[in-house]
Amino acid sequence: MSNVVRKEDAHKLVDQLPPNATWDDLMHEIYVREAIEKGLDDSRSGKTKDVSEIRKKYGLPE
């Protein structure tokens, strides 16, 4: 995952927050964005598991 943050992306993230947003709100949005990007990177590089494998691991029905 790239750690480089484009200024345009940071501005968009801040601009989408409501006028009364807190620092915690901003940090939450950053965390969510980072988690999504990491998941997409993992998916692209094949670092995923099949749903049936996870269900089996936790004893869930398929």
- Residue ranges in the chain modelled with pLDDT below 50: 1
pLDDT of residue 4: 86
Q: SS3 breakdown of the chain: % helix, strand, coil, rounded to 5? A: 60, 0, 40
Lookup: tokens for 21:
């947003």
pLDDT of residue 12: 95
pLDDT of residue 3: 75
Within 8 A by CB and 6+ apart from 5, the residues are none
Q: CA-based angle 4:24:15, to the nearest 5?
A: 60
Cβ atoms of residues 25 and 17 within 8 Å: yes
Question: Is the pTM here over 0.75, yes or no?
Answer: no
pLDDT of residue 2: 59
